Chains A and B, each alone.
Chain A
């Protein structure tokens, strides 16, 4: 008996390890809420993931041991399935809990289920459509919830803005390879992304002897902002991003 008990214990212990992580439920929430328009290929991946997740949800809610028995014994009736789904819905009714889970889950789940490069590709492909999508979808993404505490813009919103300005900024190619080729411009924005006021933060440097290149660089940055108007800013949270600082750094580009 002792030997049998001792041998059976490790199997007992292994079972919880096989359990699919609870966090996967939250990923469906993320995909439902995200404001990034997905490319066709990515949509397929998401559908597959959704399917997997739904399966996991089912298996997760039912005790593993019982589920194994259900399959051979009987076909689950629609009522049974409804009951299970209801159980899930009940869990979601507490918004605070869900939010906490969402935050904790996101980073890990993304790493497991998505290739980060794929996400980057999705963002890149959707550069042109992001602004329109943002207007349509006013809900904040999981990322935005996290990042808005730090910057006021989500990573995807920041990427969309960067991508827009990258296309508008013609770097003056004749600049000397100076160490400090950074121009900081502070903007006061209108809610529609147009610039109300712009200010070069190191303005005094423009008139310093031997800093002629800085004036040229600053002018090119201002030109980029004007060409890009209106800037691709989120449709909500105006108070958070109405004061925007753009740091134009030509060092990387010119030093190659």
Chain B
């Protein structure tokens, strides 16, 4: 009887397993950037009339695709394939790609599109294709003035980035920074603005006055910065769209790093009053100044969390410069850094999950990130001198400036803008006409 029971049990066990779904865990994969083919956008025939006058417009399809490629390459997430390897002609591929041809060159996704330029109007449309699944992933069209073609390229890049990563892009953005020229002891500092890829550099001030710490509003294209007028620090507001500039106020003593609140209605900064540096806010509507910290130590570099409920700042109240987090009313101050070295210039990520900082330890400068409770500290880059990180609007890339003892010609010293992503592997220099410092990243121009 027992034997029969045993045999039945065995049979049942065997049968149940035979019918079960086989599960296999895939825990590894390729971390190489995604191979993407960006086919030059096909320029429609009625564009020919305008071709004669404008060299760029003649090649506008190719130029747009190049800008998209550069954006993707710099992101570190995509690997744009060489155009020489493309089998299918752009004139045909924008209608219906031959996926076998694109599979042949190992492309996993493909970008095709076309441009039509009439007198004052540029219309660009693009399609993103999943080459492997042979299906369309997204298709959009944009209209603008022909001069704005670079922005169209950035917007297309953002849409593709969002579709392929699940988070918003950061290509249709601008960076404001302090352009520096001249000897180290006699630097001429101008306010400059450029696209995130280094194109379209414009100088906003003449260089007569010292300008410092420009910061973009997270809501719009307003900039606040510090400038010295007759040796007195002044905080300015500058509207990038209109060029209108206004003085927010004169502040006594040393004033540091004005920065917007997340809703753009306040400015938070630190300045020295009666010999003691504390953190203050100013309501931009009422111009009422409110003291947030009241401590005998030096409190500087405040930055709001994206929900506006908390503020991070650095202070030497424990003896050494460390990072602290408090409620936006100044209560519940908590120290979050306890590592070796000095911590400064904390900046809260737009995503809210991380705080970027500069760390100084044993004569070296590091740019790093940590969670708002101080845990999970990661140092992304190390150098002789670097500081002032600023987040891209999607909270994935940091821009900062780095000083080197010598410039590219081996003389003097040099200050340049650099970017690094959260992996810490994708570090790139952003080429500017002059030396640059104190960069600040804008929010997305197109929302």
Q: Which residues from chain A sit less than 8 Å from chain B, CB to CB? A: 149-153, 158, 161-162, 165-167, 169-176, 186, 212-217, 219, 221-224, 226-227, 239-241, 243-250, 252-253
Contacts and interface: CB of A to CB of B under 8 A. Distances in A.
Nearest to B34: A170
Contact of B23 (A169, A226, A245): A245
Contacts, number: 125
B30 A170 contact: yes
A118 to B, nearest CB: 21
Nearest to A247: B25
A221 B29 CA distance: 10
A108 to B, nearest CB: 24
B273 to A, nearest CB: 41
Interface string B6-33: 0000000110011011111111111111
B9 to A, nearest CB: 13
B77 A173 contact: yes
Given A152-B22, A247-B24, A248-B26, A174 B32 contact: no
A213 B21 contact: no
A212 B23 contact: no
A226 B77 contact: no
Q: List the 5 closest pairs (A to B, CB-CB), nearest first.
A: A174-B165, A169-B29, A213-B166, A212-B166, A152-B22
Given A219-B130, A223-B133, A174 B166 contact: yes
B127 interface: no
A172 B164 contact: yes
B130 A223 contact: yes
A224 B33 CA distance: 14
30 contacts: A149-B14, A149-B17, A152-B18, A162-B25, A170-B34, A172-B166, A174-B77, A174-B161, A175-B165, A176-B166, A176-B167, A212-B162, A212-B167, A216-B164, A219-B130, A219-B133, A223-B130, A223-B132, A226-B132, A239-B18, A240-B18, A241-B22, A244-B21, A245-B21, A245-B22, A246-B23, A246-B26, A247-B23, A253-B28, A253-B31
Interface string B177-217: 00000000000000000000000000000000000000000
A243 B21 contact: yes
A69 to B, nearest CB: 46
B33 A173 contact: yes
Q: Which of B14, B162, B164 has the most CB of A within 10 A?
A: B164
B331 interface: no
A241 B23 CA distance: 9
B29 A226 contact: no
B306 interface: no
Given A172-B166, A173-B77, A161 B24 contact: yes
B396 interface: yes
Nearest to A252: B27
B374 interface: no
B221 interface: no
B103 to A, nearest CB: 9
Nearest to A189: B22
B423 interface: yes
A226 B24 contact: no
Contact of A166 (B23, B29, B77, B396): B29
Contacts of B23: 151, 244-247
Contacts of B77: 172-174
A232 to B, nearest CB: 11
A206 B132 CA distance: 20
A112 B219 CA distance: 68
Contacts of B163: 216
B76 interface: yes
Nearest to A219: B130
Interface in B56-81: 75-77
B143 interface: no
A230 B34 CA distance: 22
